[in-house]
A and B are shown apart, each in its own frame.
Chain A
Amino acid sequence: MNFIPLPSPSAARPVSDAYDGTTYYGRPALKPAPFENSVVGSYIFLAGLCGVAQVIATVADVARAPRREGLVRRGRLLSMLAPTLGSVLLVYDLHTPKRFYNMLRIARPTSPMSIGTWILMGFSIFSGATAAAQVAADWVRPGWARLLHGIARTTQVPAAVAGAGLGTYTASLLSSTSTPLWAAAPKSLAVQFGSSSMASGAAALAMAERHAGSRSLARKLDTLALAALAVELGASVVSEATYRTRGISAAEDAAADTRTIAQIGTIAPFALQMLAGKGKRSAGILSDLASLAILAGSFCLRTGVMEAGDESARRPQDYFRFAKPGNLPK
């Protein structure tokens, strides 16, 4: 260790802005989140996919899109994955799962975990009611069916609002911690997650439309997915620039493989859809490949951010560089 010179009498407080790389035996100054990244990453992916599936179904229904019935039905049914499989994943990740119901003891606006619990509750109730009415309408006499469709048309609106929250609150959940890589760029990370949700929802529904033979709706959904990917790409450039200026981007190397898949999933669909537009015979396969790449990329974006964040929490020099007065919110 180097000799530490006598401080001048005026230096009553530590010199601020420059961080000289000092650590305490290189030991972490933070603890990484004790989440199982594949489990919570899957939940975040499902929450985005399902939340946005409900948004797209509702938008298609409200905008009275031509030949929308199949899309609306599939969107409503797809959205049921979050309340069912998603909730199971969340409870599984608790370290005392039998007390999962304690999440419902309070509502706390400072905690995205609590906000998310209530968003998921609201989403489950409204999209559950919408999907139930949709399914039940197939089994009853036409008079009753009309009533049930009317109910679904009403409950889908709050379901879509909750769906938009479900697709985005997970970014806030990560950003509202002290983990440097998650905390550094809260706004652009949220735009990344929100637009990635939109891309995955649109891609999944586009694939279904294609196989149901509804070409024109599939093309519109593909366009929507590409638009969402473009927004995600823009936001990810902003996030990366922030990590680099704050000097915390090195932690991302820990998730290099996952990040590569995520990047391929954001860029490849543009090329695939362009090729699909030219070649008539293999167009369907190429478009399906694009949709699958979007889904894989959306999943890997979430797990990649989680893995890289854990690594940044384990690197004391990253945290100390980040926790400097110059980085404080103005």
Chain B
Amino acid sequence: MGAAMIAGLPLSNRVRDYPESEFRHPLPHEAELTAGVRIEPGRSYGFFTDTTVCIGCKACEVACKEWNNLPADNLGLTGDSYDNTGHLSANTWRHVAFIEQMADRPTEMRPFQSNWLMMSDVCKHCHNPPCMEACPTGALFKTEFDTVVVQQDICNGCGYCVPACPFGVVDLNPLDGKAHKCTLCYDRLKGGLEPACAKSCPTDSIQFGEVADLQQRAAKRLEHLHAVGVPSAYLYGAPDGPGATGGLKYLNAFFLLTDRPEVYNLPEAPTRPSDRVAPSLLSGLAAVAGLAVAAVALFSRRD
């Protein structure tokens, strides 16, 4: 696939093959045209969510609900800025957070985004996914696109993936008794399509692509932001950085943030729960074994 400047945009040469504006059939490898990436099994895909260009339009939330046939969770108002979605859940796989940072005097405000932070949160598709490591049925698995998906025909709703997730993403649906979360549009990837949220994002805040490419793109963006006067920008979920600590290694869906992670409801240093299995099991067994030895001594005493 070659890239060229077409109508002032860096687009694939393939766009010249489709001059019409409506299509009767899906295009082969459509993601090449919309995201500049060909989707092939065996490669690693993910999201780079650049919060500095998010405008809080929630097109990602809507596109996700539309494509995945997900019902609304909450039709009321929360009173927390424009965030009436609340949180990621079994029915909500993209969630736009709104943080209004007000100054006492407007002259003291930072000359950047009017001190409004917006961020489209999503499942992180961890490299070492705690939910998958906790799943006792194998319902949670890594796909051929290196994404993490719950197989609905296997999940028995034990719910152990829910507390395992260090980001509070996975959730049970009480109606069907199964665990649900973002699938990174597994069905679309199989058809060569860009995930719905990324395709609908009007500012390219959500970028879809191969993880290595996205990490390079993010590093370049970070360098640019630091150069133009946004020194607070950093990556959340880049290899061994904030959000990818404690053995998670890196997140396939990572973020560019400009304030501390907690502001966005994210932990700074999450851990990998499976690291605690062996120390815990061995200490417990040692306690029981020690007491069993005491029992042997007690029982073999003649009275």
**A interface residues with partner B (beta carbon < 8 Å):** 1, 3-4, 6-16, 19-20, 22-25, 27-35, 52, 55-56, 59-60, 62-66, 68, 93-97, 99-100, 102-103, 105-106, 108-115, 117, 164-165, 167-169, 171-173, 175-179, 182-183, 186-191, 193-195, 197-198, 202, 216, 220, 223-224, 227-228, 231, 235, 309, 313, 316, 319-320, 323-325, 327-329
Contacts and interface: CB of A to CB of B under 8 A. Distances in A.
Nearest to B222: A12
B291 interface: yes
Interface string B263-290: 1111111110111110111011111111
B191 interface: no
Contacts of B285: 164-165, 168, 194
A12 B285 CA distance: 45
A235 B286 CA distance: 13
A231 B280 contact: no
A105 B280 contact: no
Contacts of B110: 4, 6
Contacts of B136: 103, 106, 108, 111, 113-114, 117
Contact of A12 (B158, B177, B234): B234
A279 to B, nearest CB: 21
Given A94-B157, A183-B276, A324-B268, A59 B296 contact: yes
A110 B133 CA distance: 5
B262 interface: yes
A220 B298 contact: yes
B97 interface: yes
Interface residues of B, number: 93
Interface in B86-118: 86-87, 97, 99-104, 108, 110, 115
Q: Which residue, A106, A113, A202, A223, has most C-beta atoms of chain B within 10 A? A: A113
A102 B137 contact: yes
A191 B108 contact: no
Interface stretch (B13-21, B40-48, B163-171, B192-200): B163-171
Given A4-B110, A6-B110, A31-B163, A187 B283 contact: yes
A60 B294 CA distance: 11
B288 A194 contact: yes
Nearest to A16: B268
A27 B276 contact: no
B226 interface: yes
Contacts of B233: 12
A34 B177 CA distance: 11
Listed from nearest, the 9 A-B pairs whose CB atoms lie closest are A95-B157, A168-B284, A323-B267, A190-B284, A95-B177, A24-B265, A99-B156, A65-B299, A194-B287
Contacts of A328: 245-246, 269, 271
Contacts of A327: 269
B159 interface: yes
B172 interface: yes
Contacts of B78: 25
Contact of B281 (A8, A15, A169): A169
A200 B266 CA distance: 41
Q: Which residue, B266, B277, B302, has most C-beta atoms of chain A within 10 A? A: B277
Nearest to A177: B163
A327 B275 CA distance: 14
A23 B97 CA distance: 12
Given A96-B155, A111-B134, 12 more contacts: A4-B110, A14-B261, A29-B266, A60-B295, A95-B156, A96-B177, A100-B156, A102-B156, A106-B136, A227-B294, A324-B269, A327-B269
A111 B299 contact: no
B29 to A, nearest CB: 34
16 contacts: A12-B226, A33-B163, A59-B292, A103-B158, A105-B137, A113-B135, A115-B281, A117-B136, A167-B284, A175-B280, A176-B276, A177-B163, A178-B273, A186-B280, A198-B287, A328-B269
Nearest to B159: A34
Nearest to B273: A176
B288 A198 contact: yes
A235 to B, nearest CB: 8
B203 interface: no
Interface string B200-225: 00000000000000000000000000
Contacts of B8: none
B156 A60 contact: no
